A and B are shown apart, each in its own frame.
Chain A
Amino acid sequence: DGGITQSPKYLFRKEGQNVTLSCEQNLNHDAMYWYRQDPGQGLRLIYYSQIVNDFQKGDIAEGYSVSREKKESFPLTVTSAQKNPTAFYLCASSARRSLGAQYGYTFGSGTRLTVV
């Protein structure tokens, strides 16, 4: 079955440590997105990519980095510069970038990151 796989489901990070969250899709979607979810704040866009080897900052990109070397993969690195990284992270993809988001997004099941 096609879908988006996020791993790991739970991740613990020590202070000052970088961690990478994995996002893989087999839907042949062009665009991929990373969101951060905090209680009561909805979803906030971190980064998005419409095509391989290209990506744009979202609303809260500081302290995060991404790469898009393959169409199927869009990993997110939470760097030590992110002061409050504890949150639920969601990856999503959409089919037709040039026609806007009219097809909606398909979401992964999320990664819960906790700083210890």
Chain B
Amino acid sequence: AQSVTQLDSQVPVFEEAPVELRCNYSSSVSVYLFWYVQYPNQGLQLLLKYLSGSTLVKGINGFEAEFNKSQTSFHLRKPSVHISDTAEYFCAVSFFGNEKLTFGTGTRLTIIP
């Protein structure tokens, strides 16, 4: 079965510390991978995406993610977080041949001043 899992529902991090938000998927076919951010009472905004090529993908707001095919992971990282990064982050996967995105359950990132 094809699925996507975000292992942490909440992640508290001190300001200016690094952060990693985890995302794993299960699939027997090729995938496209995405990370979205949602600020309170707003829609989702695309942070970055992996379609092919280099496995390290850089996105907006200083975020980056690395595609690891052997571990079926696409973890999101930022070397130094800011209070404005407080939001919910969603990993999403498109399985080859399927026109729809499958979303994880989200990780709420809280920045501690």
Q: Which residues of A contact B (CB under 8 A)?
A: 4, 6, 31, 33, 40-43, 45, 48, 50, 88, 90, 92, 94, 97-98, 100-102, 104-110, 112
Q: Is the CB of A100 within 8 A of B99?
A: yes
Q: Is the CB of A101 within 8 A of B42?
A: no
- In order of increasing CB-CB distance, the 9 nearest A-B pairs are A107-B43, A42-B105, A101-B94, A43-B103, A107-B44, A109-B43, A102-B32, A101-B101, A42-B103
Report the minimal beta-carbon distance from A40 to chain B, rounded to whole angstroms.
7
User: What is the number of contacts between chain A and chain B, taking CB atoms within 8 Å?
Assistant: 62
Which chain B positions have C-beta within 8 A of A43?
Answer: 44, 90, 103
Excluding A90-B44, A101-B100, 16 further A-B contacts by CB distance (< 8 Å) are A33-B100, A40-B9, A42-B90, A42-B106, A90-B43, A92-B44, A98-B99, A100-B97, A100-B99, A101-B98, A101-B99, A101-B101, A102-B51, A102-B94, A104-B101, A108-B43
Q: Which residues of B contact A (CB under 8 A)?
A: 9, 32, 34, 36, 41-46, 49, 51, 90, 92, 94, 96-101, 103-106
Q: Is the CB of B100 within 8 A of A45?
A: yes
Which chain A positions have C-beta within 8 A of B44?
Answer: 43, 90, 92, 105, 107
Which chain B positions have C-beta within 8 A of A107?
Answer: 36, 43-45
A112 to B32, CA, bound (A): 30
A88 to B106, CA, bound (A): 15
Q: Return 28 A-B CB contacts under 8 Å, by A number.
A: A4-B43, A6-B43, A31-B99, A40-B9, A42-B90, A42-B106, A43-B103, A45-B100, A48-B100, A88-B41, A92-B43, A97-B99, A101-B32, A101-B94, A101-B101, A102-B32, A102-B51, A104-B49, A104-B92, A104-B101, A105-B44, A105-B46, A106-B46, A107-B44, A109-B42, A110-B41, A110-B42, A112-B41
Which chain A positions have C-beta within 8 A of B99?
Answer: 31, 50, 94, 97-98, 100-101
Which chain B positions have C-beta within 8 A of A41?
Answer: 105
Report the minimal beta-carbon distance from B63 to chain A, rounded to whole angstroms.
15
Q: Is the CB of B32 within 8 A of A100?
A: yes
Q: Which residue of B lies closest to A48 (CB)?
A: B100
